[in-house]
Amino acid sequence: MRVGPVLAIHGFTNSNSLPTMQREYLAQQPTSSQRKTAFMAQTRSTSNTKISGSVSSFSHETSSSVTHRTKHSVNSNLSNGSTDHHRVKPSSLDTHRTVYIVFLSLLLDLLAFTMILPLLPSLLDHYRLNDSPQGLYPWLLDKVRHFQHLVGAPDRFNSVLFGGFLGSMFSFLQFVASPLVGGLSDVYGRKPVLLTCLVGIASSYVLWAFSSSFALFVLARVVGGISKGNVSLAMAIIADVSTPAARGRGMALVGIAFSVGFIIGPVIGAMFAHWSHSQTGDWFVVPALFALGLALADILFVMLCFKESLPKERRAKSVAGSLGQAAAYINVLDLFRFRAVRNISQKDLVELRRLGFIYFVYLFLYSGLEFTLTFLTHHTFNYTSMQQGWMFFAIGVTMALMQGGYVRRLPEHKIRPTAVLGLFLIVPSYVCVGLASSYILLYVGLFLYAVSTAMVVSCLTTLVSKHGSHDQKGTVMGIFRSLGALARATGPIFASIGELVFCNFSFVSFPKKQLITKP
Q: Which long-range contacts (CB under 8 A, 24 or more apart) does 428-435 make?
A: 430/369, 431/507, 433/369, 433/373, 433/376, 434/506, 434/507, 434/508, 435/507, 435/508
Whole-number Å distance between alpha carbons of 116 and 506:
28
- Cα separation, 423 vs 358, in Å, equals 10
What is the pLDDT at residue 143? 80
pLDDT, tens digit, 9 for 90 and up, residues 195-232: 999 999 999 999 999 999 999 999 999 999 999 888 87
CB half-sphere exposure, 112, CA atoms < 13 A: 28
Contact 27, 465 (CB under 8 A): no
Per the structure, the complete domain to which residue 321 belongs is given by 5-41+90-502
Q: Which residue pairs, CB below 8 angstroms and at least 24 apart, start in 402-409?
A: 402/450, 402/451, 402/454, 402/455, 403/23, 403/26, 403/27, 403/255, 403/454, 403/458, 404/26, 406/454, 407/27, 407/454, 407/455, 407/458, 407/459, 408/29, 408/31, 408/32, 408/458, 409/32
Tell me: pLDDT of 22 over 80.
no
How far is Cα 472 from Cα 461, in angstroms, rounded to an integer? 15
Q: Read off the DSSP letter of residue 281.
A: S
pLDDT band at 510 (very low <50, low <70, confident <90, very high): very low
Quickly count: other Cβ atoms within 10 Å of residue 112's Cβ. Answer: 28
Does 50 fall in a domain? no
268-299 pLDDT per residue, tens? 888 877 776 666 667 888 889 999 999 999 99
Yes or no: say if 362 and 414 are a contact pair by the CB < 8 Å rule. Answer: no
Residue 479 domain flag:
yes
Number of domains in the chain: 1
Residue 336 maps to which CATH number? 1.20.1250.20
Residue range 295-319: mean pLDDT, rounded: 89
Mean pLDDT of 391-417: 84
Q: Looking at residue 297, what is its pLDDT?
A: 97
Find the angle CA(245)-CA(462)-CA(309) to the nearest 5 degrees: 40
Of 93, 97, 70, 100, which is closest to residue 82 (Cα–Cα)? 70
Is the pLDDT reported for residue 319 higher than 70?
Answer: yes
Is residue 138 within a helix (H) or strand (E), and if so which, with residue range? Answer: helix 136-151
- CA distance from start to end of the chain: 53
78 in a domain, yes or no? Answer: no
Output the 3-class SS for 164-208.
HHHHHHHHHHHHHHHHHHHHHHHHHCHHHHHHHHHHHHHHHHHHH
Residue 284, number of CB atoms within 10 A of its CB? 24
**Does 180 fall in a domain?**
yes
Average pLDDT over residues 239-266: 75
Helix (H, G, I), strand (E, B) or coil at 229: coil
pLDDT of residue 12: 37
Tell me which residue of 157, 171, 505, 219 sits closest to 367, measured CA to CA: 171
